[in-house]
Amino acid sequence: MKFCYISFVFGLTVLQFLVPSNIVIAQSATDSCTSTLPLNGLAFDSSLLQCVEGWKLQNYILRYAKTAENTWDFILSAPDSSAYIAIGFSTTGRMVGSSAIVGWTNSGKGDVKQYLLTGKSPGLVILDQEDIKIVNGSTKIESVSSRLYMSFQLTAELPRERLLYAMGPSGFFPASPEFALMVHQFVTSTTIKYIPGPATFAPTMSPGPATTPTSGPSLTPSSAYGLSPSLLFFGIGLLALKFY
């Protein structure tokens, strides 16, 4: 009878710690400047790419390289949150007057569009208006392992150093023929110093004022209740000895 009681208590204790662990593990995939790009068929050597944490809070990673005279390749990586992602090139650090590259995937199909932000109202966000030169046929976006990878090429001696990042509202995708945008859910402003040479680990970009709310640290499965695995099994052992 004692043995059955001990087994029952042991089972309840294990279940108490297993249930929240499964919930905590279910997190979206992350990327970093030390990660290997999970992309095939790139038109350039990915080992040439510089890398910066463009928007640390939202885990936006920007990779870039100068691969030819006045040609710059970019890959923006961000979580796939069923929303559009965007990078804006600005002369002032503000959205108005900047040119944005916006991408999304919906039902397995990816779209990338360029917008000129001449004002804050929807009618002043102009589709396919060239303020910066995008190389024809260079835009692409795909979803891999719960992340979006948006790539494009710019023609410039040096791209604008004031960058904006944005994430659209969840569940909204611009539709043909207007491809009108809804206002972003989150946005931030940064500054970058481009390194045109061989790839090195570039520093994190200097952030501007961000409108995104801060978030606390995520819990690992072993700390879901503030206990490490070693303390958990030690407690189980003491419990078993008490009833033995």
Which of 25-29, 46-50, 97-101, 236-240 tops mean pLDDT? 97-101
Residue range 20-30: mean pLDDT, rounded: 45
CA distance 222 to 228: 5
Residue range 63-78: mean pLDDT, rounded: 95
Whole-number pLDDT of residue 121: 84
pLDDT at 3 over 80: no
Confidence bin at 208 (pLDDT 50/70/90): low
What is the DSSP code string of 6-50? HHHHHHHHHHHHHHHHHHHH-------TTSPP---S-SS-GGG-E
In the chain, % of residues over pLDDT 70: 70
Provide the β-strand partners of residue 78: 148
**How do residues 74-86 score in pLDDT, each as one tens digit?**
999 999 999 999 9
Confidence bin at 66 (pLDDT 50/70/90): very high
Q: Which residues contact 201 (CB under 8 A, 6 or more apart)?
A: 33, 34, 51
CA distance 16 to 37: 38
Confidence bin at 46 (pLDDT 50/70/90): confident
46-207: which CATH number, 2.60.120.20, 3.40.50.720, 2.60.40.1210, 2.60.40.1180? 2.60.40.1210
Whole-number pLDDT of residue 48: 85
Q: Residue 232: in which H helix or E strand, if any?
A: helix 229-243
**How do residues 142-185 score in pLDDT, each as one tens digit?**
999 999 999 999 999 999 999 999 999 999 999 999 999 999 99
Residue type, 25: I
CA distance 47 to 198: 8
Whole-number pLDDT of residue 129: 85
Whole-number pLDDT of residue 206: 56
Residue range 26-47: mean pLDDT, rounded: 80
**How do residues 102-139 score in pLDDT, each as one tens digit?**
999 999 999 999 999 999 888 899 999 878 999 999 99
Whole-number pLDDT of residue 217: 31
What is the DSSP code string of 123-155? GGEEET--SSEEPTT--EEEEETTEEEEEEEEE
